[in-house]
Amino acid sequence: MKNVYIETYGCQMNQADSGIVGKVLVENGYSLVNNQDDADVILINTCAVRDNAEKRIHNRVHDLQSLKKKNPLLKIGIIGCMAERLKDSLINEDKAEIVCGPDSYRRIHELIDLNGGIDTELSKEETYEDIIPVELNSDGISAFISVMRGCENFCTYCVVPYTRGKERSRSPESVIAQAKKLFDEGYRDITLLGQNVNSYIYNEDGKDVRFAELLIRVAKINPLLRVRFATSHPKDLSEELVDAVASYNNICKYIHLPVQSGSDAMLAKMNRKYTSEQYLQKIDLIRKKIPDCAISTDVIAGFCGETLEDHNRTLEIFRKVRYDSAYMFKYSDRPGTVAHKRFEDDIEEKEKVRRLQEIIDLQRELSLESNQKDIGKIFEVLVEGESKRDKTKYFGRTSQNKVVIFDKQDNKKGDYINVIIENCTSATLFGKKI
Ligand code: SAH
Ligand code: SF4
Ligand code: F3S
């Protein structure tokens, strides 16, 4: 029982967490394998944010039962946000042996050694800051560093505060040490992560270090290290943070600022704590201080009681901001949330799909327009790997987080090159090294 295969779903934070789980296992004598057929234990790191994410996992765990026929000793573990939400029902109904929540990863090997078990205790302090994660499925160039855990915003639709618990930040020292190590190993693009990264706060020798300062300290490690961050809650996006992004060339000119809805009525009902006007003021601040900054968003279509007028407000705010890209979802009712308890999930599925599609279609136009504006411009691109579609080409990203495809020539992964953009689709830029 020594080979473990870890499969990760959900957000970037889960990616980072899987690295922590991997490290705990390696330190306790387990080996990590890349193939489920070689595994004695399969761990699935899960997301609970929408019902379809959970359905996928139930199906996956169901399918894995057939592997147990070949290998009766195989153990299946569900870890992460679904583990936290569904607890022992995953053992009783899904036939998993191990259930381990996001704050219990230090014990993951014990649960395996015991031949199964459950631990979903949430913690107020756990940040795993002393555990330097293994880099799973790594390209050797990009990595995530989780700098804070938990969320206390309690947006009414969202399950994360219940699956991830209280907010807590790790020491700047431990973040810098991990970033330095990654840089020395050749990594060049690091994303600092938190569900709510702007509320990072750590008391260092009697003085509070906030997120803008942490970001600057990481950026100062080396000008060749690109630094990104996610996710910023609009209510906490400070001028200081915008100034930090503006002032350092290697802090990427890309801000993910989820709006969720363009309607003030919906925003209030979602408990987002800002109005559309306040949101647009933040956008103005970014545009004023960082003219070349790309901005992306998350949005939810068909939240409880959303009228056509509310929906049109969402389309309107998309047109006003002209997002470079967006993650778009239809509302999924989550048991345990305030919305589930207090509001009716009353927009019909067909109508949710229609509204979502309308947003997707609009965003496709906006993304295309944003990319077309880049044609003829020169960008510094970090070479990140071979293009999946065309092995004669590389792909990389601009500071603005746009993917660029270009000829390989004499470059290698990890190089910075200047590329002139010649063509584009709504999703990709195509260019030539100059
Ligand atoms: N902390 C981040 C991301 C949270 S989850 C933030 O606040 O922006 C990522 C996205 O999933 C959210 O931004 C939201 O757009 C979406 N989401 C969360 N709960 C959802 C639900 N119940 N139904 C549909 N989308 C949801
Ligand atoms: Fe969920 Fe809101 Fe927290 Fe984001 S800020 S994780 S949407 S509760
Ligand atoms: Fe999903 Fe948990 Fe991340 S619910 S979005 S995996 S924090």
Distance (Å) from CA 147 to ligand 1 centroid: 19
Residue ranges of domains in the chain: 3-119, 138-252, 286-373, 378-433
Contact 289, 327 (CB under 8 A): no
Question: What's the CA gap between 6 and 136, in Å, rounded?
Answer: 9
Chain-centre distance for alpha carbon 208: 26
- 138-252 against 286-373: fold identical: yes
Distance (Å) from CA 160 to ligand 1 centroid: 8
What is the CATH class of 286-373?
alpha beta
Question: Which residue shows structure tokens 């509204």?
Answer: 355
Instruction: Give the three-class secondary structure for 41.
Output: strand
Does the Cβ of 258 fall within 6 Å of ligand 3? no
**Tens digit of pLDDT at every position of the chain (434 positions):** 599 999 999 999 999 999 999 999 999 999 999 999 999 999 999 999 999 999 999 999 999 999 998 899 999 999 999 999 999 999 999 999 999 999 999 999 999 999 999 999 999 999 999 999 999 989 999 999 999 999 999 999 999 999 999 999 999 999 999 999 999 999 999 999 999 999 999 999 999 999 999 999 999 999 999 999 999 999 999 999 999 999 999 999 999 999 999 999 999 999 999 999 999 999 999 999 999 999 999 999 999 999 999 999 999 999 999 999 999 999 999 999 999 999 999 999 999 999 999 999 999 999 999 999 999 999 999 999 999 999 999 999 999 999 999 999 889 999 999 999 999 999 999 999 99
Residue identifier of the C-alpha nearest atom 10 of ligand 1: 298
Distance (Å) from CA 158 to ligand 1 centroid: 6
The correct answer on CATH 2.40.50.140 for the domain covering 378-433 is yes
Distance (Å) from CA 418 to ligand 1 centroid: 35
| pLDDT of 70 | 87
CATH code at 138-252: 3.30.750.210
Q: Which amino acid is at 133?
A: P
Does the Cβ of 163 fall within 6 Å of ligand 3? yes
Does the Cβ of 231 fall within 6 Å of ligand 3? no
Specify the fold of 3-119. Rossmann fold (3.40.50)
Token pair, residue 378, equals 């020169």
Does the Cβ of 258 fall within 6 Å of ligand 1? yes
Distance (Å) from CA 159 to ligand 3 centroid: 8
Does the Cβ of 398 fall within 6 Å of ligand 3? no
List the beta bridge partners of residue 386.
394
Chain-centre distance for alpha carbon 273: 22
Residue 230's closest CA among 10, 13, 380, 5?
A: 13
| pLDDT of 1 | 58
Residue identifier of the C-alpha nearest atom 7 of ligand 3: 160
The residues lining ligand 2, judged by C-beta closer than 6 Å to any ligand atom, are 151, 153-155, 158, 160-161, 195-196, 233
Contact 37, 7 (CB under 8 A): no
Residue 44 has phi, psi (to 5 degrees) of -115, 115
Residue 132 has phi, psi (to 5 degrees) of -85, 115
